[in-house]
């Protein structure tokens, strides 16, 4: 079966940086578009960023544009979300998700088939 595992969540001060990592098992990492979502308490899960299977296409939510960077390392088979200039409103559970085989980047939740359990990011102001 497919497993999606996120790591790297932590408590960080506002203005700080953090890098999340995601690994998948049961699928060929290189072949799939992937993305990051987040969900704050009392709010709906929202798209943060996505990257196409080839790495050429990347999408970001307006709220993180210019502060977050999504990177896929197809050699190490790891997806990263590099976050800088963190704000209190970035506090949420962050989820890694796997989208379509040979697919482009997407911020539509319907395009994602497999999800991790999440990693908590807390930004203190």
Mean pLDDT of all residues belonging to the chain: 96
Query: Which of the four pLDDT bands, split at 50, 70 and 90, describes residue 29?
Result: very high
When pLDDT is averaged across residues 4-27 and rounded to a whole number, the result is 97
Enumerate the β-bridge partners of residue 92.
121
Distance, CA of 72 to CA of 57 (rounded, Å):
11
Length of the chain measured in residues? 125
Reduced DSSP (H G I as helix, E B as strand, rest coil) percent helix, strand, coil of the chain, to 5: 5, 50, 40
Tokens in use for 70? Answer: 């999504």
Q: Other C-beta atoms within 10 Å of 66: how many?
A: 9
Tell me the sheet residues that pair with 23.
Answer: 5
* Torsion 120-35-110-24 (CA) sign: negative
Q: What is the pLDDT of residues 72-94, one digit of tens each?
A: 999 999 999 999 999 999 999 99
């Amino acid at each position: 079966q497919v497993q999606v595992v996120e790591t790297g969540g932590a408590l960080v001060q506002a203005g700080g940086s953090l890098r999340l990592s995601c690994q998948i098992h049961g699928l060929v990492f290189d072949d799939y578009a992937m993305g990051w979502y987040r969900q704050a308490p009392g709010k709906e899960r929202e798209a943060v960023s996505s990257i196409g299977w080839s790495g050429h296409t990347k999408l970001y939510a307006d709220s993180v544009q210019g502060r977050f960077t999504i990177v896929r390392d197809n050699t190490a088979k790891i997806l990263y979300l590099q976050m800088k200039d963190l704000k209190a409103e970035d506090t949420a559970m962050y989820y890694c998700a796997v989208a379509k085989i040979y697919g482009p980047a997407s911020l539509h939740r319907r395009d994602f088939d497999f999800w991790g359990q999440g990693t908590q990011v807390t930004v203190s102001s």
